[in-house]
Structure 1
């Protein structure tokens, strides 16, 4: 899409609910947009399959599989999937929106990461991956692009588009999927994957985080794939000497060419990672990241929130640190000897302070209390529950269509979270549905009416298309409330935000096929989606035989696509009896036959005498067909004549 061609998705309303705001990212299978869920009034990320893949059943199945796989996982380190559907020919899925960057962006900006940062990110990824593996799901496409780092510090795995159930992880014979740089040897050589294939991809990611580059490189993808299948991943410390041996070993364990030599799943590897983390932060460990200097924010002890980590750039020499530590300990010992009883008194005071602090934050006013569950509860009951839990209560009112008026919609802080004892919890109380005004809709085009409905804050309900003779095609005939008293909204009127409006849209008039030959009439009706059936047959002096005499819907009520039109067919003119004109003079016989609707054939002369000059001198001796024979009007009767009778 060039700059001169704006994205047609921007501003589009998907499925009458999701308003597209901006584009976030574009991939090989889909594009991700920032959208607003008009029903729940929240920002979401909506992933829309590329149009050229919509007819490919395999890709569509993979796309739906992503929603099903992720929806089965409820974990803080896995991107939540809210919804999945089809709007016209467009498949989409709706996910939680996480403002931030990907791990790929972080590596692009900073190159390699510190061991501590690598451990933090790997911990989060393994936690989410372990939940997937426990649920029997293999991700199959783990890479830095699919690790999301939110602005609020959360780390989540996304894009389960290649996920498969573990029991179905055999090869398919298709081209290998996923990014070649993170494919396990068994995926490259045999096209099969299980939980250990995800572990291999994570090991490659750890190598990249610790060194700033991937272990295998090549100008062509097949060169990289060949190395995955045949070469061992080197130790990260060969490229970055600051990598501790424990992380070296963890990377080599995760990237073993034989799947049986790797961790069985993410849960097993997570246990080992946590053990490595404890080892690296054990005081006196000579294998930990020694060059990291910890500066406390003041006081006797430094909490996690007070601590600042100055990474390898500080390069504090272990020898100097040990010397300084010995000197500090000697000075402390000397101070203790000189102060004597004062030190004991100080310790007792500090113990008392610690005890008082423990009471204050443990059971006193500074303690942390869980906010009770009050969503959906009547206001008075919610106030009582919060007061009993030790909170003060404030309220405000909000419109919502999902909670009855007078009940709690939500609270700040949210229910289930911790808050300080005695602090104030604000209850957001439902005012019921928000009143809105729907503009007149009858006479608008279908697209204009849908835009007017969503613009007013309502949702588009059913769109019933009907054939209406006096309303142009694609024009709204009528509109009505989908809920409540179903009042007519054709001329607009009051309604409520978030509720649906049903539309009736004209398909134009049913084609008039009277007078057409029956096959032509059937084709004309079929072209607009209508069926036809033959009705009664009747004679007609004005409609040719086999043509449509009249048409009418088979059933009463509006005519819709797929309905049947009954066609009455002409049999042509009705037959009449040939008059008995034998013995009549020719002039009288001719008049009687013509008046009966027949054409007449007769000889020009009888002998040498012209018939037309002396019509009354000739008499009819016979007719063909004979008298009283039933014949169609307009057919010819041949007359035999004699002169003078």
Structure 2
């Protein structure tokens, strides 16, 4: 492959690596003078329709995504019975190699790398794409710390059929539980895989290992991962919380979006509370304390003023009675002082539980509205129903950008929290308003494959190819087309392309011994231009073909000039070669042979050429009659 030029543009320099179904090469873009990466589908899979479809799909997906953290695509096409993708060449190492060589990556660097991965996933998710194969091998890190995501070969669009699939794709170490079970996938599956990558950066190992991919997949489904700090005690608590939230088995308990995960990673770098921590602090501050005030009871003895008028016995009885009343009052104070605080605590706890229960119930009833714009209506309906929301089409309108049956906009918009069973109102595209005709571009001189692509992009599918030889146009180039340039055509109308098959080559037939009339008609029917020349012959009757130039059996273009030599009984003189002779010698030879001549002159730059024969006509070896003259050109 080294030195091979693809599509007359990309020269292979060296091999960069190999994957499961493709090889990647470094190449020079001859036209734009830049380095590019060429991904070529392996010949083992070039005949497999599913692999070819995935390969084409990767090119189409990357072409839609434009972000500094996603590898850009420049071109794609066919090569040597296979296919290739021309991509941005990123000088750096993949994250798997970095972890292999370096081991543990410090938490701050891990966060910075992860923030950039989140940015790439945000772009993909906004375009309704799930990557489904986030792993260190598909993450390239440049020398300046820029992270780029590549390999969208198994990415899935939410615009496609969002149903279960038996094809469980993705690397088992990084696969989400729902992906391992073949369930309906959401953007959350990429966040789980990213959580595994973050775990590996922090610990230099993945959370689940097993004897085979099935064993590992079952662990993703059933087992909880050990906290990263078990292996690396220095892992910060907040970073550990971020990882474990990403690795929740239930997708609804993970981060709701790549943006939310990115926000927490930024908070970690700034030393600020994570979103969940901040939420708990806000709830606690709103609770407050409920304080109950308890009054004092005063017990007095009726008739205490009268005791001074009683007898001694009566006084003693009164004192005892008063003492009993005081004891009873004291016991009552003790009882209430014990019960009231307990009662107050019980009331406070009941109110707190009631408030939290109502808040939890309200939270459970709320659903965050997902983005369903640019999504097919029936797919959006399935998605909303799966999270307890309804959809209603408010109106349908023509749109030149959004395809027919896809959603143009929505109310409420993405990110709003609404109650379950809320109706999301949408506008649905009726597609581009159809035009009856399209003006055809000028395709003359364009390669047939490029012309096909131009017409297909315009919406023309009914194409007819007619091959014609051409002396002017190279092979596979459009000679003309019907309808012609600037003419209009309907989408269902047939477009006829006349394509050059190159120059038509014809063999010179052997006409020796044929009479001149038959020879002329034969050569004319083959498209040749003809000149004749007589040669005296004592053995052949006049008008018989002696030879041709080019010789019989030679392959030439059908419009070539052919000289026919024919016999004659006429006395002819053979023209001698007088070129480079001085004029006096040339004249002497011609006169001695009885050949008439005429002289022409041409100015020369060097004196040595003066008075010398520069050219002659007819050329030497030709035959002329005694009445004909030879022209000689002499320098002066």
Please, what TM-score do these two structures have when normalized by structure 1? 0.43
Pair member with larger Rg: 2
Greater fraction helix: 2
